Every structure is written in C-alpha cells, then in structure tokens.
Chains A and B, each alone.
Chain A
Amino acid sequence: MRAINIRPGRGTALVLGLLPFAALAVAYLAGSALRLAENPSDKLLPALTTLAASIDLLAFTPDRRTGDYLLWADTAASLTRLAWGLGIAASLALVLGLLAGVLPVMRALLAPFVAFVSMVPPLALLPILFIVMGLGETSKIALIVIGITPILIRDLMLTATALPREMIVKAETLSASSWLIALRVVLPQVMPRLIDSLRLQIGPAFLFLIAAEAISSDAGLGYRIFLVRRYLAMEVIFPYVAWITLLAVLLDLALSSLRRRMFPWAEVGR
C-alpha cells in the first residue's frame, strides 16, 4: 500500500499527536538530570521539583516585597494591554477596511499607504514610540496596534473587495445606499474573517507586547521574563513561557467559538 493511503485510526492519531509532547518532556527531563548531576545548582534546566516550587512561589504565595501574587499580577497587566491593543486594532481595521473595501475613492486613498505602512518593522519604531508616547501603557498598546492593524486592514479590504460584484449590484437593486451596503451586506460578511485574522495575529500581538514590556515596565509577563533573565532564572522563565503559550491557545479557542456562535451561516458553507 502506498504511504499516502495509510491513514491512522482515532487511537493511533491521538498517540501520534501526543508523541512530540512526550518526546519534548523526556528530552527535558533527561537533559535536566544530566546537567544537575554535574552541577546541582545548574540553572539552565531546573528539575521538576524546582519548577513546581517556583510555580508555587509565583502563583500561590504573595511576594515578599509587594504582597502581590506575581503570576496573576503579571497576567492581569499583560492581558489588559493585549485586550486594549487587539480591541483598538480590530476597531480601526474594521472601520478603515470597510471604508477602503466599499468605497473605491477611499481604496485609492488608503490602499497604497496601508500597504506601505504594513511593511514598516514595528519593533524598529519602538524607540520612537517611547519618546513620543512616554514609557507608560500608551506606547505598549500603540506598538501592538501599529504591529497588527495594517495587516488586519489589508485582510478586511481584500475580503470586502472579493465579495462577488453581483451581490453588491443585487443590494443596489434592493434600494441599498452605500452606507446600507456597508452596514448590512459587507460588514456582516467580513466579520468572520476579522475574527479569523485576529486569531492569526495573537502570536504577533504577544511578540510586540513582550518586546515592549522587556524595554520598560513594572509588571507583565514579558517584564518578568526579561527581568529574571538577568540571573538566568529558568525556573521562572519556563513556567511563564508555558503560561503565555497556554493563554494564546485559550484566546484562539475563545475567538474560534465566538465566531461559530455569532456567525453560524459561515460554518454552513464550509
């Protein structure tokens, strides 16, 4: 039988899917054990017990200095920034993407500029942002917004212009004005795409968030990682990385289910 025709059963697929995770865990444990055997104070690959103690300290014990639970305080700070960034970016993208998608004049005005701006590497703008907007929350949120909005706008614009011309003409024969076409025909049809684009931008948004927090901050997931990096505290960094990954996955699942619940019609055609 050809390899392309061999399909795993349900159980096999589950085992195969778990295999890379197991391999990673085994590699970590083996590496950790080897390094710790050589140097019991080794910080690079801490033992599971050290990790557990560290997680307990971060998540369930108030900090000696501030009395905060560090992990939760950091998570709250980061997620607040992320929510603002994603929210502002999505709103901006929706308004500008729709304008450019529906009105040819706005498209002529915006499309070249957005295409240009979307090529600016946002991290290179960071020093400018910090000078213009200060070191506070504004510049961190602005970095996320600048980083992902142009891509969202372009995506929505493309989605809007890719709607069949027939559909727009049909709406015109149903007495729709430009505004009503945008509101009742184009907007609902680009919304599922906006949510999908947002899901794809969660990764970049976290990247920008962590980069901004690394430079100047007093709380946040990225702040903590780059702070403890000074003394190679992998027992803090590993749990934080895992937690950030988990948060991103959860956010992705939440958006996906939001899309399914809000736009059932988009699932029917799949």
Chain B
Amino acid sequence: MTMIRLARMTLPALLLAATGLSATEARAETRTDFKVAWSIYVGWMPWGHAAETGIVDRWADRYGLTIEVTQFNDYVESINQYTAGAYDAVTLTNMDALSIPAAGGVDTTAVIVGDFSAGNDAVILKDAESLEEIRGRSVNLVEYSVSHYLLARALESVDLSERDVSVVNTADPDMVGAFQTPGVTAMVTWNPMVAEIAALPDANIVFQSGQIPGEIIDLMAASTAALEENPDFGKALAGIWYETAALMVSDTPEGAAARAAMGAASGTDQAGFEAQLAATRLFDDPADAVAFVTSPDLAGTMDRVRGFLFDKGLLGPVAASADIVGIELPGGVILGDPGNVMLRFTDRFMRMAAEGAL
C-alpha cells in the first residue's frame, strides 16, 4: 500500500520530466483550467462542502474557469502532489508551505488565511498534570509537523529543549490507539485525535495551540505562476471561501445543516465538529483576515517557524542559514534572501473580498 503510494508520487513526475513537459508549460497562455487539492481538517472542510454543494462551480463559472477540487486522504501526499506540479493550489499550514513547496523551489502564494489553531493542537501527558513532567519521556508525534513545532514551543515555555525528551515518529491515524498502549506516556497531535485522547481517563492536555495564538496558520495556497497567468483563479478561490465560511458560521438551519454535513464528512457529527470549530480561530470575515496578515506579528511568527525548520534541517540539508528561502510579507517586507522569494503572504484577494470587489 505504502509502496504503491510512493510509486504514484514519483512515476508521473518521472514521466513529466522525461518528456520535458511541466504542468505549466503544457497549458495555453490564459489558463482557465485549475486543480485544487485539499485534505480533511476542520479548517479546510469548507472546500469539500463548497465542491459538493456547487459553490465552487458557481464561482468558477463567474470567472469563466473550470476548477477541479480533489480530496486527499493523506495530507502530506496532497502537498507533494502540488509541489510536483500536479495541482495549482493546496490546503496547508504556514510551516509546511515553507518547508515543502517553497524550499522545493515552487513559488507559492498564500491566497487565503483561513484560520489559525487555537486549541486544535495539543501536548497531552498520561498521568501527569504539568508540562514540566514531560522531561525524560518519549513523545509520540508526527515528526517535522506542526505538532513538532508546538512541542518545541511548549518546551521553550518551561525552559526545556528537545534534548530533554526523545521523539518517536508516529503516524497520525494511529495516535488514538497508540496513546492507549502502556509504553506511550506523552503525545503531541491535532484534532480530531486530541478530542478523542483528551476523553480518556488518564490523559491531560498540558499545552495547546491557544497558548501560541496565530502561529499555526491554515492556508489555501496557490502557485504564484498560476495566479500570474490568471488572477481570476485567486478571486474565485476567495469568493468560494468567504461564501462557504459565512454559511458555516451562520446561526441558521442552513448553517447547522452545513456544519452537520462537514462533521459527517470528517468522520464525526455536528456537535463534534462544532467543538473542533471552537478550538479554531476561523476567519469568516475577510477584514479580520486582512488585519491578521498585515499585522507585524506575522513576521515574528514566520521568523520563529523558519528558525525551527532550519534547526531541523528542513530547509535543505546544505542550507547555510534560515535566510536561504525568502518570505515576502504584505507591504513588501521580505524575510531572508530577496533573490529567492518562494513563499508570499498577500492580502490582495482577501482585501477584494472585504471590499466587495469580487
């Protein structure tokens, strides 16, 4: 199974490479066909719901586009497919956007800042009340993921470092089962697993993403090249997002139905989904998102994130410093190498939504 997945990832890439075609070159000048990948997570469920209920098609038609939305069971796989050029946009976190496509030379723009985690990610200890007791334990988490980042931030907060614990890479679908085995005493993971594990009698949440607000950001990011070819793609994405998000938070029967549908699609129910939503700072109002992305705090966050990634060797094994990949922020501020800007935050499309200009 896993081998097939690996083959699926590399073979199309090899074929593309061998014929000298890339996904972008193969298309005509003004592109109208775009492909979007997304995976199951509370902050990204609106994309699936929008595709199912025809919201995607409506906005695509409005700009004369065809947008194909594909759901991935595997988050990393969806990012890898995007990085390999098979998709034009993908849902991912700010950290993964920097470490995978941007570090891989795929110029990526964060079209929409959808939400940030405010409790969806958590450090959980077994039979222990305080974070300090994590010292000396082995911690199960998905290495190099936002969980790993959260652990680093958690350890920092109590003057510990990663040297004080040992990290065991564990696949996210197995987290809930793993926590119930005697050998596992510390874990970092995200929802819906956090909710499941927290419900176990001996589990205690000792640190969660609400304590580092705004640092784990969920994005809809598109390839900068695709946006340049046809900026309408970005507008359509913004239109889809804010229409669906408004529906999602509305206190109407339609809103409740949408939340129930998204809950079902993510393997829980309306109540479970609403609980996850409560641990998420969702930007359903574009003005809030513009304010978030233009605030000077974002530069600090991204600086911490790139420092973490560099420390883990994720900006490339031969990277000399965290500056190797340039990050452009709204207002023209650039972190790192201005000659190698590969990740861009912009308020362009969200501002259009806020101004009703879509």
Contact = CB atoms under 8 A, between A and B. Distances in A.
A touching B, CB within 8 angstroms: yes
Contacts of A104: none
Contact of A123 (B1, B6, B171): B1
B313 interface: yes
Contact of A45 (B14, B170, B181): B14
A127 B177 contact: yes
Interface in B88-144: 96, 99-100, 103-106, 138, 140, 143-144
Interface residues of B, number: 47
A235 B316 CA distance: 10
A64 interface: yes
Contact of A31 (B17, B103, B313): B17
B314 A216 contact: no
B20 interface: yes
State the main secondary structure of chain A at its contact with B: helix
A134 B342 contact: no
A211 B17 contact: no
Nearest to B167: A218
A43 B145 CA distance: 19
Most buried by A among B6, B17, B80: B17
A199 B127 CA distance: 46
Contacts of B138: 218
Contacts of A215: 170-171, 174
Interface string A115-136: 0000000010001001101111
A54 to B, nearest CB: 6
B317 A57 contact: yes
Given A216-B140, A229-B80, A27 B168 contact: no
B178 interface: yes
Interface in B142-183: 143-145, 166-171, 174, 177-178, 180-183
A44 B105 contact: no
Please report whether the interface of chain B is mostly helix, strand, loop or mixed according to DSSP. mixed
Contacts of A133: 181
B348 to A, nearest CB: 24
Contacts of B313: 64
B100 A230 contact: yes
Given A38-B22, A232-B83, A218 B17 contact: no
Interface string A201-219: 0000001001100111110
A172 interface: no
A92 interface: no
18 contacts: A31-B14, A35-B22, A43-B83, A43-B104, A43-B105, A123-B1, A127-B174, A130-B174, A135-B178, A135-B181, A135-B184, A136-B183, A226-B169, A227-B144, A229-B76, A230-B76, A230-B100, A231-B99
Interface of B: 1-3, 6, 10, 13-14, 17-18, 20, 22, 76, 80, 83-84, 96, 99-100, 103-106, 138, 140, 143-145, 166-171, 174, 177-178, 180-184, 313-314, 317-318, 340, 342
Interface of A: 27, 30-32, 34-35, 38-45, 53-54, 57, 64, 123, 127, 130-131, 133-136, 207, 210-211, 214-218, 223, 225-227, 229-236
Q: A-B pairs with the 8 shortest C-beta distances?
A: A41-B105, A31-B17, A216-B170, A43-B104, A134-B183, A134-B181, A215-B171, A39-B105
